[in-house]
Structure 1
Amino acid sequence: MADINPEDMPVGDIDETTPVEMRSLRKRWFGILALVVVAAALVWAIWFFLTQMGRVSTDNAYVGAETAQVTPLIAAPVAEVRVANTQPVKRGDVLVVLDPADARIEVAQAQSALAQAEQKYRQSRATVGAAQGRVAARGSEIEQARARLRDAEATLNRARIELGRREALISSGAVSGDELTAARTAFQSAQAARDLARAGVASAEATQNAATGELQASAALVEGTTIGTAPEVLAARARLAQAKLNLERTVIRAPIDGIVTNRQIQVGQRVAAGTPIMTLVPIAAAYVDANFKEDQLAKVRPGQPVLLTSDFYGGDVEFHGRVVGFAGGTGAAFALIPAQNATGNWIKVVQRLPVRIALDPKELKEHPLRVGLSMTATVDTRGR
């Protein structure tokens, strides 16, 4: 191949770019690059302002709810269990039916005790009337005894006068000794009759006092009361009401709307009062406890909006809530064995404070959550 002489090449094929033009081109490209960097920084600043500025976030958040623990209020064998775990129930639905045989016997006994109490009250009322009659009868006896006393005193006065006359005539011989003796005997008999009449009056008065005491005692039992307000009747009615309530409690109903969880009861099992038999979880009233670091809470206030996502549904489903309040202490403060940092090699550990977040009921209805699920919570501290 023949060698090519540069002088023989066309003039237009030789790069004639000057150093000045090269510098100008570089400046132009650096300017474009600077504009791109500034634009990117501006876009990032706008994104940060719109999505991150004034917001604090944590993935240490979990779903909670005020669960209802179902416990029987009476002891009885289990006759029916009408629900199973994971089953949704409404408030008032029958969960468990206990054997009502013992409760029905208690109702019958209480009804009998009430009837006896009412009968006893009526007897007390009748006793008051009878006691009043006895008091009136004793009054008549006293009047009769006093009349006999007056008659005995009159007889005694006559006997005294007759004895005085005969004693006055004994010296003149006009009265015999037998007549004087008879007069003295009549006088002594009249004295004895008077004393006996006095004793009869005292006895009648004592009998009347006893009857009056009985009347007062009987009247005290029913004074100011009716058959509906008598203490014994009220107590018997209370026992009957308690027995009926225990009979109603043989049917255990759901106290709230929720999901049946942790069922621990079987047919035929005898349960004691207060023994937990199942738990109801109100998923429609779930909330979130978000554990924020202590240095994130300076601007967090109740009422601020919160954006939440759940690992259960993924990032495509967002929940909206509001800050309700703060816990009274960190989790470490209420631990079974609180941390004690009074040591020489103490290392500061950032603490977390639970923040209660209320969720939107409509969103919960569309996407139900379960207690214990993980959540990511972002609080907008600029909101009110």
Structure 2
Amino acid sequence: MSAAKPSPPSRPTPTARPRKSPWPQRLLIAAVAAALAGSGWYYYRKQSAAEAAGAYRTAKIERGDIRVAISATGALAAISTVDVGSQISGQVTEVLVDYNDRVSKGQVIARIDPATYEAQIAQGSAQIQNARASLATAQATLRNAELDYQRKSELAAKQLVSRSDADLARAARDQARAQLNGAQAQIEQQIASTQTTRLNLQRTVIRAPVDGVVLTRSVEPGQTVAASLQSPVLFQIAEDLSKMEIVLAIDEADIGQVKAGQGVNFTVDSFPDRRFRGQVQQVRLSATNTSNVITYPVVVSVDNPDGALLPGMTANAEIEVSRRDDVLRVSNAALRYKPADEDAAGAGNAGPNGGVRGGLGNDLPQVAQALKLNAQQQAAFDAALAQMKQRMAARSAAPAASAGGPPGGGAPIIIGGGRGPGGGGGNNNRNRNGGAMSGAARQRMLERFNQQFGAFRSLLDDGQRARWDAEIANLVTARRVPLYKLAGGKPEPVVVRVGASDGSWTEVSGNVREGDEIVVGSGRTGP
């Protein structure tokens, strides 16, 4: 009988585990995917914006000072320089002053040998005595002739002598009178001649005609002065070196900006780190033509209290013709920028800041605000302004529908005549229609303004009316140019008025604010 096999140990029956839900994993995956997609989209937008912004070079509108100056050079000189000469000829016996000596008016500075003139005076005195002796002889002869004529006239009346004898006596009397007059004239002549010699004797002493400083001395003791043909210059005296002047040669293109009273800054090579001040005293009308270049002399007065400035120094001067403090300004490169062909369509549309439709319509409220209008005046102004904008909108609608109109339907941009602030001239001085705005066009525009705002203008008092007329005249004649403000990565046109320019910066006003990014060039590469 076989033994029974042991039975295998029994395994516990497994219990059923609960099944996990797949949704948390799916949600996590979805969240990660969304985060990656968002990051990618953000990076793409940021990269696109950076590329769009990097396509243009910009400069900010900023506040600052603009100083317009004209540069020129000239030589320093004393205001009054006197050439001291000699009116007589002779040998110089003494020279009493030297270079840089200070002299006073009437001071003896040189002497000429007086011996010749002293001898002439002695000779003249003797001739006067001789003439007086001749006068006495003539007086005695006249007395005798008068007595003889008197006697013979009485005898002729009694027919005791012939009439011819009386006539001869009368002729002798008249001759005696003539001789007496001749003797008197001879005396006066000799006295005058002697007086002339005495004057020449006084002129042997050379005196300083003014108070000043001796600049040059061209005579030495023992030198002979010959004044027969022209007066020789012995000394040159600067009257007052504490007051000096500079004569600048200003080009004809700039002379219209120079006025008396304008400030002048200048330097000299002797003091390169020191700036001196002067003032325009006179703009002379005597033009100078040098190789077909026309210049005008401008006299600048200079104070020289410490005597640092010397006559003949070369002054490098700048005439300050205009100065604008704390104004909005932009780099001149922004005035020369023009959008490329691919950006022209986008640049032609006016943005929310006014775009190409900006200009007078946006400037007028500022003018009205400065007038401090009352309620009635303000209502009249608002009505006239609204009517003007409606007319401008209707007028610009027709060019917008035609192929020849400006981009975006804007009105032609007005550019004033003359040199553009960008310094380039040419296209900077022309409007979109290709021609510069003439004076007749400005006059017509001014007449239209007077008509459109006539009712409003009639409500103004005299002071307000004068200021309104002046501001409107300035607005009409002002130069207006387009700037391109960077908005959303695209250049947006903005019309501004331009003012003073110093060659690097130009004053602007209109629909721009401090900090605005203005396009000055394209950053794109390629042909």
Cα deviations by residue, 1:193-243 (Å, 9 ceiling, x for unpaired) = xxxxxxxx33xx3332222112122334557x9x9xx53333222212211
Q: Distance in 2 between matches of 1:305 and 1:130?
A: 85
* In the alignment, structure 1 residue 282 sits paired with structure 2 residue 277: no
Q: 1:142-191 CA distances to partner (integer Å, 9 max, x unpaired)?
A: 478x45xxxxxxxxxxxxxxxxxxxxxxxxxxxxxxxxxxxxxxxxxxxx
2:94 is equivalent to residue 80 of structure 1 = yes
The equivalences for 1:146-185 within 5 A come to 146=159
In structure 1, the residue matched to 2:310 is 370
TM-score, normalisation: structure 1: 0.61
- The structure with more strand, counted as a fraction of residues: 2
> Which of 288, 299, 306 in structure 2 is aligned with 1:357?
299
Residue 218 of structure 1 aligns with which residue? 176
Question: Do the aligned residues in 2 keep the contact of 1:327 with 1:356 (CA within 8 Å)?
Answer: no
Tell me what 1:128 maps to. Answer: 142
Change (3 A) 1:77 1:207: same
> Which whole-Å CA distance do the structure 2 matches of 1:47 and 1:210 have between them?
104
Residues in 2 aligned to 1:382 and 1:214: alpha-carbon distance in whole angstroms: 89
Determine which structure has the larger helix proportion and give its number.
1
Query: Cα gap change, 1:219/1:380 in structure 2, threshold over 3 Å: closer, same or farther?
Result: same
User: What is the DSSP-based 3-state SS (H/G/I as helix, E as strand, rest coil) of the residue aligned with 1:277?
Assistant: strand
One-letter identity of the residue aligned with 2:65 = W
Output the amino acid matched with 1:367.
Answer: G
The 3 A distance-change label for structure 1 pair 86 and 367 is: closer
2:93 is paired with a residue whose SS is strand
Q: Is the 8 A contact 1:326 1:353 kept in 2?
A: no
What is aligned with 1:64?
A: 77
Structure 1 residue 101 corresponds to structure 2 residue 115: yes
Q: Identify if the C-alpha distance between structure 1 residues 283 and 208 changes in structure 2 by more than 3 Å, giving closer, same or farther.
A: same
Quote the Cα distance in structure 1 between the aligned partners of 2:91 and 2:43.
101
For residues 240 and 295 of structure 2, what CA distance do their matches in structure 1 show? Answer: 24
Structure 2 counterpart of 1:328: 286
The Cα of 1:130 is off from its aligned counterpart by: 1.8
**How far did residue 352 of structure 1 move?**
5.2
Of residues 201, 204, 207, the one that matches 1:247 is 201
Distance in 1 (CA, whole Å) between partners of 2:130 and 2:309 is 57
Which residue identity lines up with residue 283 of structure 2 in the other structure? G
Q: How does 1:187-206 map to 2 (within 5 A)?
A: 201-202=161-162, 205-206=163-164
Stretches of structure 2 that go unaligned for 5 or more consecutive residues are 1-35, 324-527
1:325-376 Cα distance to aligned partner (Å, 9 max, x none): 22522252xxxxxx4xxxxxxxxx7x2514232414xx22333533321112
Distance 1:82 1:22, change over 3 A: farther
Q: CA separation in 2, counterparts of 1:73 and 1:206?
A: 58
**8 A Cα contact 2:259 2:280, kept in partner:** no
Root mean square deviation of aligned Cα: 3.7
Quick one: distance in 2 between partners of 1:22 and 1:252? 95
Q: For residue 63 of structure 1, what is the amino acid of its counterpart? A: L
In 2, the alpha carbon distance for the partners of 1:95 and 1:355 equals 35
Does the 8 Å contact 2:117/2:200 carry over to 1? Answer: yes
Task: State the secondary structure of the residue aligned to 2:305.
Answer: helix
Give, in whole Å, the separation in 2 of the partners of 1:265 and 1:123. Answer: 51
Aligned residues: 277
What letter is aligned with 1:77?
Answer: Q
The 2-side partners of 1:104 and 1:241 are apart by 12
Correspondence for 1:195: none
Distance 2:155 2:308 in 1: 91
**Distance in 2 of aligned mates of 1:118 and 1:302:** 65
Given candidates 231, 235, 238, the residue that maps to 2:189 is 235
Give, in whole Å, the separation in 2 of the partners of 1:369 and 1:329. Answer: 28
Partners in 2 of 1:319 and 1:116 — Cα distance?
A: 69
Tell me which amino acid in the other structure corresponds to 2:233.
Answer: P
3-state SS of 1:366 partner: coil
- Stretches of structure 1 that go unaligned for 5 or more consecutive residues are 1-15, 148-200, 333-338, 340-348
Q: What secondary structure does 1:359 align onto?
A: strand
Please give the secondary structure, in 1, of the residue aligned with 2:246. strand
How far apart are the structure 1 equivalents of 2:123 and 2:270? 56
- Aligned partner of 2:104 in structure 1 is 90
Structure 2 residue 318 is matched with structure 1 residue 304: no
Partner of 2:320: 380
Q: 1:278 offset after TM fit, Å?
A: 2.9
**Measured at CA, do residues 21 and 272 of structure 1 come closer, stay the same or move farther in structure 2, by a change above 3 Å?**
same
**What is the deviation of 1:305?**
3.6
- Alignment partners' CA distance in 2, 1:305 and 1:117: 69
Residue identity opposite 2:77 in structure 1:
G
| Structure 2 residue aligned with 1:335 | none
Q: Distance in 2 between matches of 1:218 and 1:90?
A: 56
Q: Distance in 1 between matches of 2:153 and 2:74?
A: 90
The 1:112/1:321 distance shift into structure 2, 3 A limit, reads farther
Q: Are 2:250 and 2:297, in contact at CA under 8 Å, matched by a contact in 1? A: yes
CA distance in 2, matches of 1:315, 1:294: 31
Structure 2 letter corresponding to 1:309: T
> How many angstroms apart in 2 are the aligned matches of 1:305 and 1:124?
76
Corresponding residue of 2:444 = none
In 2, the alpha carbon distance for the partners of 1:129 and 1:63 equals 74
| Higher-RCO chain (CA-CA 8 Å, sequence separation at least 6) | 1
Match of 1:269 in 2: 223
- Aligned with 1:367: secondary structure? coil
Name the counterpart of 2:65.
47
- CA 1:303 to 1:237, structure 2 compared with 1: closer, same or farther past 3 Å? farther
Paired residues of 1:77 and 1:268 also in contact (CA < 8 A) = yes
